[in-house]
Amino acid sequence: MSGLDINGLSMRFDLPNGSSVQALKDVSISLKPGELMSVLGPSGCGKTTLLNIVAGFLAPTEGKIELNGHLVTGPDAERGMVFQKGALFEWMSVRENVDFGPRMKGMPKAERDKIADHLLEVVGLQDFKEKAVYELSGGMQQRVALARCLANEPDIILMDEPLGALDALTREKMQGLVLKLWKETGKTIILITHSVEEALLLGERLLVMAPRPGRIHKEYRLPFAERGVNADLRDVKKSEGFAETRDEILSMIWEMEEEIMGRTEEVA
């Protein structure tokens, strides 16, 4: 069976003070190769935990994950990560960051250079190859992070709020870039976001999660990502069904947030 299979995943954190947090409860998802799924939910609903388990940084308390038929037990080059920020290597140039994966595999320099040159052109950084990464703006740094991940040819790319630290204008541009990369490379992508609009734009499938315990609340299949591949994202936002879906999801998340607030007030 190819693709990603998440089966009955639960995660409980036992805290040192004796209590425990049920971060995820019985989460099951199945992703076909090449699918783009966004994950949305109020903070603390276990999105990062889910991604960390898929990446292999955490072992779940229950359930299992299979990728292309084999069990996920730890981090591996087949599952690439893009973090919000701070994951680039400041002591390396842009090029060295991008060809890190191939370099660790022992790929010859000529080949590595070809990959890096190509990817840096794709993300629009061909003029910054030898720059230090700390000299780049936040948006450019995320472009480097995307290129670094792609250079390694992973089967699936996991992104934890990759655009969360960017300003609104840069963010819009980067959303277009993510769609373009998805279409051009055909990678399977899971993208976590805080922004409802972003979730709609960057998800063929959209997973809305609910907190305490973290679980799947609702799943959508959306046409907007496909539309966005060939059109201006602003037009997509004006296109049919976008506003309605956005409002529906927004009020759903509002309700969840209010429920959380209510519960904490009761406690207090």
Partner 1 sequence: MTVLLFYLALFIGAFVLVKVIRGGMTSQKDFTSLKTVTFGDESAVRPDRAASIISVVVIFVIWGAFTGSKLIPIHVPAPFTGETQFTYTVEAEDGQRDDATIFVRVAPFGEKAEKFEVEPGEGLASNDAVAMTASRSATILFDKNDELKRKSGARVVAINGQEISADGSVDTGDGSVSLSGKGAILFTPSLGMQMNPIWLPAPEKVVERFFEIADEGYQNFTLWEHLGWSLIRVVVGFVLGSIVGIPLGYAMGLSGWFRGWFDPIVEFMRPVPPLALIPLVIIWFGIWETGKIFLLFLAALWIMTIAARAGVSGVNISKIHAAYSLGASKAQIMRHVIVPNSLPEIFTGARVAMGVCWGTVVAAELVAAQKGAGMMIIAASKFQLTDIVIMGIVLIGIIGYGIDILMRKAENWLVPWKGRS
Contact flags string 194-233 toward ligand ADP, x per CB under 6 A: --------------------x-------------------
Q: Of residues 48, 97, 141, 175, which one binds ligand ADP by CB under 6 A?
A: 48
3-state secondary structure of 84: coil
Question: What are the CA-CA distances from residue 187 to residues 48, 97, 117, 178 (Å)?
Answer: 20, 21, 20, 11
Backbone angles phi, psi at 156, to 5 degrees: -140, 145
CB atoms within 10 A of CB 260: 17
Task: Verify binding: residue 48, Mg ion, rule CB under 5 A.
Answer: yes
Out of ligand ADP, partner 1, Mg ion, none, which partner does residue 23 contact, by CB within 5 to 8 A per kind? ligand ADP
Nearest residue to 193 (alpha-carbon basis) of 224, 215, 219, 164: 164
Q: Of residues 7, 10, 34, 44, which one binds ligand ADP by CB under 6 A?
A: 44
State which residue, 78 or 226, has the beta carbon closest to partner 1: 78
Task: Verify binding: residue 49, Mg ion, rule CB under 5 A.
Answer: no
Is the Cα dihedral 93, 94, 100, 102 positive or negative? Answer: negative
Task: Verify binding: residue 193, Mg ion, rule CB under 5 A.
Answer: no
Binding residues (CB under 8 A) for partner 1: these are: 55-57, 74-77, 79-81, 83-91, 100-101, 104-105, 132, 134, 148-149, 152, 154
Contact (CB, 8 A) for 98 and 116? yes
CA triple 255-262-211, angle to 5 deg: 55
Task: Verify binding: residue 57, ligand ADP, rule CB under 6 A.
Answer: no
State which residue, 13 or 254, has the beta carbon closest to ligand ADP: 13
Out of ligand ADP, partner 1, Mg ion, none, which partner does residue 86 contact, by CB within 5 to 8 A per kind? partner 1
* Residue span binding ligand ADP (CB under 6 A) among the ranges 41-49, 124-132, 134-142, 225-233: 41-49
Contacts of 46 (CB under 8 A, 6+ apart): 11, 23, 24, 27, 209, 211, 213, 214
Q: Of residues 45, 98, 120, 151, which one binds ligand ADP by CB under 6 A?
A: 45
Residue with tokens 């990603």: 4
State which residue, 25 or 47, has the beta carbon closest to ligand ADP: 47
Please tell me the distance from the alpha carbon of residue 198 to that of residue 225, in angstroms, as a whole number.
10
Residue numbers 13-32 binding ligand ADP by CB under 6 A:
13, 15, 21, 23
